[in-house]
């Protein structure tokens, strides 16, 4: 080889080594930036809170105790546990280790995952409904709902329920999606993680511009709180049985947090503090800060009116009169603060902004640091509108009420006497007498599903109790199925329609299911055919209302807890449009 080539290779090798060494030093010594400026004087206490956390009670790697310890060590004051589709962490709720623990759940629905933060109690029913059902369950249980990881790269996790009614908020940051979207940069993350886990997680963060854009579109219609979700699992599955404990809970809890703005510090009374936290969350009285970039606990965004009254994030401000926005606080030197009105930039400056507001609108702030694809701070908006617009926006955020009596309805005509037969698996039991004549509203006949659902076991994986009617009928002239429902408790039951599908294993029938929740009062249930869905892998893709072969009301271990016994009654089973 020519001496020149050898020289060149040496130089290249040295350059590569030097770059590697520099990168190592850069990573190992990366620390959050320092902040300077006046501490905020808006009268609020900033409470660092982390939500959307999984434990070993679903697919997380750490026990609730371990996760709570990690939260305390990371300086988190409020920890929102949200295991998948259960509230098994309820025994850990309250003050633990100095951390206020709220237990909620992340509910899987066909529209994506719905985060229910801070659910009051663990009900007898299981969460198995669609997106609308999940939101109603969160409302029933006094929690605050958020659409989780709206732009996950995994199609099955992607949120598609943007048209769902109600005041649900939006997860703007999601620790798990970051890792998934990082792609080849995940290699860098893996390399850096041992040197400096905080930096490594930062390196995996991608732009959230599409989420912010979607948020602005939702905000044009109604108030929408924006949340940072940790989506902490600390468990990276390698194979079916092997998993890595990565990333550590503590590293994720240090990375990004929600700073709740509370009028007084946490009191230590778990009930009162829980209420204050959930109120702040529902109102959007908080901002998101990526503390791994720089400590964000000194940020402030207020609007002041002529009388000197000051408003903060989540507040609604009357648009009349002169209003001024003030943004600032303790920020790093190179910060660029951006004030947005209805998504458009109306003010931009280093370290602080003080400007008159140009008119009504949704005002929110981002604070950017050079070189990072996401804002260091994202505030929830201050809403500046006249009374009429405020009221219209309030109505658009309202939970859907109970269904109005249908415009037109007809009872299902049953040939069989009694119309339903009680059927169940071998372990479960049911009352065999299913009709209570003329005891329902308006003297209607009542059908009774008296059940004791056996727990599933090795010999019986599927346990169920059902009322079944197998009569062919054409319901194509109607919009959906309706009935009245009452029970001795809150249960979710499956309402099932079966139609022909020769490819299906179930005697050539395909089962289409929708979920309904009972209460102890009679309530009207209306299930449009479009809400019925199937799990059949050989589905023909659509329910055929003109060829219904069976109408079934069923409970199984996916709809109520195994071992549950109770009585569900329904009447006026019919169709509507
Ligand atoms: Zn999820
Ligand atoms: Zn999750």
pLDDT digits (tens, 9 = 90+) for 357-377: 999 999 999 999 999 999 999
Q: Are 347 and 356 in contact (CB under 8 A)?
A: no
- Three-class DSSP category at 194: helix
List pLDDT tens digits, range 73-94: 999 999 999 999 999 999 999 9
Beta-strand (E) ranges in 86-201? Answer: 94-96, 99-109, 112-117, 144-147, 169-174
pLDDT score of 313: 98
Nearest ligand to the C-alpha of residue 81? 2
Output the CA angle 491-497-501, nearest 5 degrees.
140
Round to whole Å and give the CA distance between 396 and 381.
Answer: 17
Give residue 107 CA to ligand 1 midpoint distance, Å. Answer: 8
More confident residue, 505 or 222: 222
Residue ranges covered by each domain of the chain: 46-396, 409-576
Round to whole Å and give the CA distance between 421 and 463.
Answer: 17
pLDDT score of 194: 80
Nearest ligand to the C-alpha of residue 53? 2
User: Does residue 1 have a pLDDT over 60?
Assistant: no
pLDDT score of 211: 96
Give the range among 71-80, 180-189, 244-253, 452-461 with minimum mean pLDDT: 180-189
Q: Are 474 and 546 in contact (CB under 8 A)?
A: yes
Give residue 146 CA to ligand 2 midpoint distance, Å. Answer: 12
Give residue 55 CA to ligand 1 midpoint distance, Å. Answer: 13
Q: Are 84 and 73 in contact (CB under 8 A)?
A: no
Fold (CATH) for 46-396: TIM Barrel (3.20.20)
* Four-CA torsion 214, 217, 219, 225, nearest 10 degrees: -10
Give residue 147 CA to ligand 1 midpoint distance, Å. Answer: 9
46-396 and 409-576 in the same fold: no
Give residue 58 CA to ligand 2 midpoint distance, Å. Answer: 10
User: Does residue 498 have a pLDDT over 90?
Assistant: yes
CATH 3.20.20.100 fits 409-576, yes or no: no
Mean pLDDT of the chain: 93
List pLDDT tens digits, range 279-302: 999 999 999 999 999 999 999 999
Which whole-number Å values give the CA distances from 311 to 195, 287, 300, 341, 361, in the listed order?
A: 43, 14, 11, 16, 14
Nearest ligand to the C-alpha of residue 235? 2
pLDDT score of 181: 67
Give residue 106 CA to ligand 2 midpoint distance, Å. Answer: 6
Nearest ligand to the C-alpha of residue 113? 1
| pLDDT tier, 405 (very low <50, low <70, confident <90, very high otherwise) | confident
In the predicted model, what is the mean pLDDT of residues 59-85? Answer: 97
- Sorted by sequence, the CB contacts under 8 Å of residue 444 that are 6+ apart come out as 438, 484, 571, 572
| pLDDT tier, 466 (very low <50, low <70, confident <90, very high otherwise) | very high
The pTM (predicted TM-score) of the whole model is 0.93
Nearest ligand to the C-alpha of residue 159? 1
Specify the residue for token string 């998504």. 343
User: Does residue 191 have a pLDDT over 80?
Assistant: no
Widest distance between CA atoms in the chain: 104
| pLDDT tier, 199 (very low <50, low <70, confident <90, very high otherwise) | confident
Give residue 85 CA to ligand 2 midpoint distance, Å. Answer: 10
Q: Are 538 and 501 in contact (CB under 8 A)?
A: yes
Give residue 77 CA to ligand 1 midpoint distance, Å. Answer: 23
Q: Are 432 and 422 in contact (CB under 8 A)?
A: yes
Give residue 281 CA to ligand 1 midpoint distance, Å. Answer: 19
User: Does residue 180 have a pLDDT over 70?
Assistant: no
Give residue 204 CA to ligand 1 midpoint distance, Å. Answer: 18
User: Does residue 236 have a pLDDT over 90?
Assistant: no
More confident residue, 540 or 177: 540
Give residue 79 CA to ligand 2 midpoint distance, Å. Answer: 14
């Amino acid at each position: 080889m020519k001496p020149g080539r050898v020289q060149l290779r040496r130089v290249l090798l040295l350059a590569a080594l030097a770059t590697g060494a520099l990168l190592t030093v850069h990573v190992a010594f990366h620390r959050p930036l320092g902040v300077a400026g006046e501490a905020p004087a808006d009268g609020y206490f900033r409470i660092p809170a982390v939500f959307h956390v999984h434990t070993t009670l679903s697919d997380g790697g750490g026990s609730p105790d371990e996760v709570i310890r990690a939260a305390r060590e990371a300086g988190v004051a409020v920890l929102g546990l949200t295991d998948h589709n259960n509230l098994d962490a309820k025994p850990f709720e309250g003050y633990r280790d100095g951390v206020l623990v709220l237990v909620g759940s992340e509910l899987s629905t066909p529209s994506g995952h719905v985060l229910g933060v801070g659910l009051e109690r663990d009900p007898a029913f299981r969460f198995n409904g669609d997106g609308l059902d999940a939101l109603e369950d969160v409302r029933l249980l006094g929690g605050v709902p958020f659409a989780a990881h709206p732009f996950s790269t995994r199609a099955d996790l992607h949120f598609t329920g943007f048209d769902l009614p109600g005041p649900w908020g939006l997860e703007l940051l999601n620790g798990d999606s970051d890792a998934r979207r990082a792609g080849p940069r995940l290699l860098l993350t893996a390399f850096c993680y041992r040197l400096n886990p905080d930096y490594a997680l930062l390196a995996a963060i991608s732009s959230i511009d599409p989420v912010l854009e979607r948020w602005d579109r939702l905000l044009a219609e109604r108030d929408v709180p924006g949340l940072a979700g940790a989506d902490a699992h600390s468990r990276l599955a390698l194979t079916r049985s092997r998993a890595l404990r990565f990333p550590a809970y503590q590293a994720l809890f240090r990375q990004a947090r929600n700073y709740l703005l509370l009028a007084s510090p946490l009191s230590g009374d778990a009930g009162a503090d829980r209420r204050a936290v959930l109120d702040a969350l529902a109102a959007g009285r908080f901002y998101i800060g990526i503390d791994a970039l720089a400590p964000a606990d000194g940020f402030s965004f207020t609007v002041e009116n002529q009388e000197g009254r000051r408003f903060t994030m989540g507040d609604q401000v009357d648009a009349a009169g002169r209003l001024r926005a003030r943004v600032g606080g303790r920020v790093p030197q190179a910060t660029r603060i951006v004030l947005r009105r209805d998504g458009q930039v109306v003010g931009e400056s280093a370290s602080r902004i003080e400007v008159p507001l140009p008119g009504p609108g949704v005002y929110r702030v981002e604070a950017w640091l050079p070189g990072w694809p996401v804002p260091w701070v994202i505030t929830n908006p201050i809403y500046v509108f006249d009374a009429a617009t405020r009221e219209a926006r309030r109505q658009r955020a309202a939970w859907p009420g109970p269904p109005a009596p249908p415009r037109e309805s007809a009872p299902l005509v049953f040939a069989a006497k009694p119309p339903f037969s009680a059927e169940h698996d071998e372990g479960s039991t049911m009352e065999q007498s299913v009709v209570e004549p003329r005891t329902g509203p308006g003297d209607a006949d009542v059908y009774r599903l008296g059940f004791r659902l056996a727990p599933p076991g090795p010999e019986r994986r599927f346990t169920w109790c059902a009322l079944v009617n197998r009569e062919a009928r054409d319901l194509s002239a109607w919009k959906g199925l309706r009935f009245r429902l009452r029970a001795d408790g809150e249960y979710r039951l499956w309402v099932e329609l079966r139609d022909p599908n020769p490819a299906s294993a179930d005697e050539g029938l395909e089962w289409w299911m929708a979920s309904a929740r009972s209460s102890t009062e009679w309530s009207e249930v209306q299930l449009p055919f479009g809400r019925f869905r199937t799990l059949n892998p050989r589905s023909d893709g659509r329910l055929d209302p003109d060829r219904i072969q069976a109408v079934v009301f069923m409970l199984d271990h996916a709809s109520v807890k195994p071992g549950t016994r109770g009585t569900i009654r329904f009447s006026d089973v019919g169709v509507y449009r």
